[in-house]
Chains A and B, each alone.
Chain A
């Protein structure tokens, strides 16, 4: 540490070398137009920082666009997965709960099981209304793939928050038909609200 004297503080690069007034980050003094005594590295660093920010952000955006939402098994959800954007695949275990107090409904939820465990999927607001209005809600037994944000809570209250209707992909369960007889409805009726990811249920 250097010894403190009044001039040691007043004579830094944030002060004008000519009139000794405070000029902050300016390159030249706004009072007497003298060039500041800032180190040259800072001037270069400005350009480097601006370019790195712009190019880096563009690359980050490109990487995020190309990034496939990772699939997560429900049993693997732990507190460290909290806030993750993840993809869950499984079967709808019960008929969805639809908020009946509001029209259009502003809250829906349904449970999904993937064999390892089960998880509640919730949707609120505009997305919930969209799902009901466009008849995109799954039924019990449907195979679904959902993308959303995981909200981990203790005692079985963990949920997956669905924020976009396009993030729900439903493969309808086969209706009961005579075994051995193939009909057009025997094929799963895939809702084409979005393309499924590689490895998603068909």
Chain B
């Protein structure tokens, strides 16, 4: 039995554990570094390329599980954004951040097991057929997802004050700004897909400044601007709360919803884990914050790890997500042995990452206590800007600035941040519908 892939997967998990403790550093940035290094120093099809599969899978599984720590502890938004952010941040502000991490990681672990079992038993027989049937329909499915996203956000407020237009405008301000965010993000996406103003030599990272600008930088800026303070996180209290408040039913229902949403997101182009989680939340009528957190962890795991594993499914080899795209540009899996090795590596990496979640969270809490929340936010902001500059140069910084302005709108006006995902949903849906070139022509791109 060749244990080398398993060891390499564990190495990937360890790298992901370190990366996950650096706030704002996305795993795709690290994978991009791997691609660049291989590109510079290794000719194609060497022995190193053989080990890329387990390494990528180990990193993705580790990141999925452990990146919950910085996302809950560092990207804590201004309190006024409670309306629109994950319950994880509410728990953080209530001193139960560790509880939130444990629940989310639990959801990811459950989902990893479900994904590995389902793929091992039925993937080769079922998925290629499903893909053949659904492929001609993906374009209208994505349009429907967007319609649901927009229609499920309703006007709020406006109960008091003068009646008439002022009250009407007040109630529509958040929803209207959500629509504005959606439209601006869609236009940004069309520009980036049709004529990205970055060098072709770093084109594989051309969406990096967009995503950091839309999602990472705004939260960090608000942390700094609003001088957010987070309360002391008590590990013991957290653990007791876990034992007393979360039942197996919470875990099972959250994992089920997450697998449903994440599976949909992994399979349908352009739909991300967050959107999938939102759809599954509505479909399964999730109300409890703990179940929601479990489902988000499960959804992320299925979206990231399951999406990458779809590349390995015999007869399917579907490229979904950034990691699969980067891996497919270096080496394509071909044999059934590759598929089962990938499943084994995913199971091992997910298990090890789950065991690392609680100790690493304690470390993160100590780091925040020692460094201070604002300093950590400032360092994270500096790091992410440095990465954008290294990968995409000055044009990338300018794109990130525009994206940040768009990404701030939902936070400041109390709209859904999910509207920013129009940056990828709209151009992909347009291209799949055959309308991309016409829209590009209209925009003179």
CB-based contact A84/B402 at 8 Å: no
- Report Cα–Cα, A9/B80, bound state, in Å: 11
Is the Cβ of B199 less than 8 Å from the Cβ of A60? no
How far apart sit A30 and B161, CA to CA, in the bound complex (Å)?
Answer: 8
Of the candidates B206, B229, B437, which one forms a contact with A127 in the assembled complex, judged by CB atoms under 8 Å apart? Answer: B437
How far, in angstroms, from A57 to B401 measured CA to CA in the complex? 10
Q: Is the CB of A14 within 8 A of B225?
A: no
Q: Is B172 an interface residue when CB atoms closer than 8 A count as contact?
A: no
Q: Is A98 an interface residue (CB 8 A)?
A: no
Interchain CA distance A125-B205 in the complex, whole Å: 27
The reply on B434 being an interface residue by CB < 8 A is: yes
B interface residues, Cβ below 8 angstroms from A = 35-36, 38-39, 44-45, 78-84, 93-95, 157-161, 170, 174, 180, 184, 187-188, 191, 194-197, 199-206, 225-226, 229-234, 325-326, 328-332, 368-369, 373, 398-399, 401-402, 405-406, 408-409, 411-414, 431, 434, 436-437, 440-441, 443-445
Assess whether B402 is in contact with A1, with CB atoms less than 8 Å apart.
no
Interface centre among A12, A82, A125 (most CB of B within 10 A): A82
Given contacts A12-B79, A79-B39, A84-B203, contact A2 B231 (CB under 8 A): yes
Asked if A164 is at the interface (CB within 8 A of a chain B CB), the reply is: yes
Known A52-B401, A64-B197, A83-B204; contact A33-B187, beta-carbon cutoff 8 A:
no
Which of B82, B437, B445 contacts A14 (CB under 8 A)? Answer: B82
Chain A residues 73 to 110 lying within 8 A of chain B, measured CB to CB, are 78-86
Q: Is the CB of B402 within 8 A of A26?
A: no
Structural contact, A39 and B445, CB atoms closer than 8 A: no
**Which chain B residue lies CB-closest to A32?**
B160
Complex: A52 Cα to B402 Cα, angstroms: 7
Q: How far is the CA of A145 from the CA of B201 in the complex (A)?
A: 20
Which residues of A sit under 8 angstroms from B83, Cβ to Cβ? Answer: 14, 22, 24-25
Contacts of A198 in B (CB 8 A): none
- In the complex, the answer to whether A28 meets B161 with C-beta atoms within 8 Å is yes
Number of interface residues of A (CB under 8 A): 65
Task: Tell whether, in the assembled complex, residue A61 and residue B191 are in contact, meaning their CB atoms are under 8 Å apart.
Answer: yes
Give the contacting residue for B80; candidates A3, A25, A126; CB below 8 A. A25
Residues from 1 to 57 in A contacting B, C-beta threshold 8 Å:
1-4, 8-9, 12-15, 22, 24-26, 28-33, 36, 38-39, 41-42, 45-46, 48-50, 52-54, 56-57
A36 to B331, CA, bound (A): 56
Bound-state CA distance A67–B443 (Å) is 13
Residues in B neighbouring A78, C-beta threshold 8 A: 39
Measured in the bound complex, the distance between the Cα atoms of B410 and A24 in whole Å is 12
Looking at B84, B170, B204, B441, which has the most chain A CB atoms within 10 Å of its CB? B204
Contact A64 B402 (CB under 8 A): no
B414→A24 contact, CB < 8 A: yes
Complex alpha-carbon distance, A189 and B400, angstroms: 45
User: Given that A61-B191, A78-B39, A154-B332 are contacting pairs, would A49 and B94 also be in contact in the complex, using a CB cutoff of 8 Å?
Assistant: no
Out of A39, A67, A81, name the residue touching B195 (CB < 8 Å).
A67
Q: Which chain B residue has the least Cβ–Cβ distance from A126? A: B434
Among A29, A39, A63, A70, contact of B160 (Cβ-Cβ < 8 Å): A29
**Residues on the B chain within 8 Å of A182, using CB:** none
- Which listed residue (A38, A57, A64) contacts B194, Cβ 8 A? A64
* Pairwise interchain contact B194-A150, C-beta atoms closer than 8 A: no
Among B94, B206, B412, find the residue whose CB has the most chain A CB atoms closer than 10 A: B412
**A83, closest chain B residue (CB):** B203
* CB pair A64 B413 closer than 8 Å: no
| CB <8 Å contact, A49 and B36 | no
Can you spell out 23 A-B residue pairs with CB atoms less than 8 angstroms apart? A9-B93, A13-B79, A24-B80, A24-B82, A24-B83, A25-B411, A25-B412, A25-B414, A26-B414, A29-B160, A45-B412, A53-B409, A56-B402, A57-B191, A59-B402, A64-B445, A65-B444, A79-B39, A79-B326, A80-B36, A81-B203, A82-B203, A84-B204
B363–chain A nearest beta-carbon distance, Å: 15
Chain A residue nearest in CB terms to B368? A1
In contact, A49 and B412 (Cβ under 8 angstroms): yes
Q: Chain A contacts of B436 at CB under 8 A?
A: 163
Q: Contacts A22-B82, A33-B160 known; A79 to B409 CB distance under 8 Å?
A: no
Q: How far is the CA of A69 from the CA of B200 in the complex (A)?
A: 9
Task: Give the CA-CA distance A155 to B45 in the complex, in Å.
Answer: 8
Residues A80 and B231 in contact, CB atoms below 8 Å apart: no
- Cα distance A53–B407 when bound, in Å? 9
Q: Chain B CB within 10 Å — which of A4, A13, A86 has the most?
A: A4
**A9, A49, A52, A65 pick with most chain B CB within 10 angstroms:** A49
* Chain B residues with CB below 8 A from A39, complex form: 225-226
Chain A residues, CB < 8 A from B332: 153-155, 157
Complex-state Cα separation, A22 to B187, whole angstroms: 34
B325 lies within 8 A of A2 (CB): no
In the assembled complex, the Cα of A39 lies from the Cα of B159 at a distance in Å of 23
Kindly list chain A residues whose C-beta atoms are within 8 Å of the C-beta of B406: 49, 53, 57
Q: Complex Cα distance A15/B95, Å? A: 18
Contact A57 B184 (CB under 8 A): yes
The answer to whether A152 has its CB under 8 Å from any CB of chain B is yes
| B157, B225, B231: the one within 8 Å of A1 (CB) | B231
- Chain B hits for A49, CB < 8 A: 405-406, 408-409, 412
A72 at the interface (CB under 8 A from B): yes
CB-CB nearest in chain A for B373 = A1
Task: For the complex formed, measure the closest distance between the CB of B86 and the CB atoms of chain A, giving whole angstroms.
Answer: 15
Q: Please determine whether A82 and B194 come into contact, CB atoms closer than 8 angstroms.
A: no
A59-B197 Cα distance, complex, nearest whole Å = 12
Within the complex, the shortest CB–CB distance from A181 to chain B, in Å, comes to 42
Given known contacts A42-B78, A154-B329, A1 and B230 CB-to-CB distance under 8 angstroms: yes
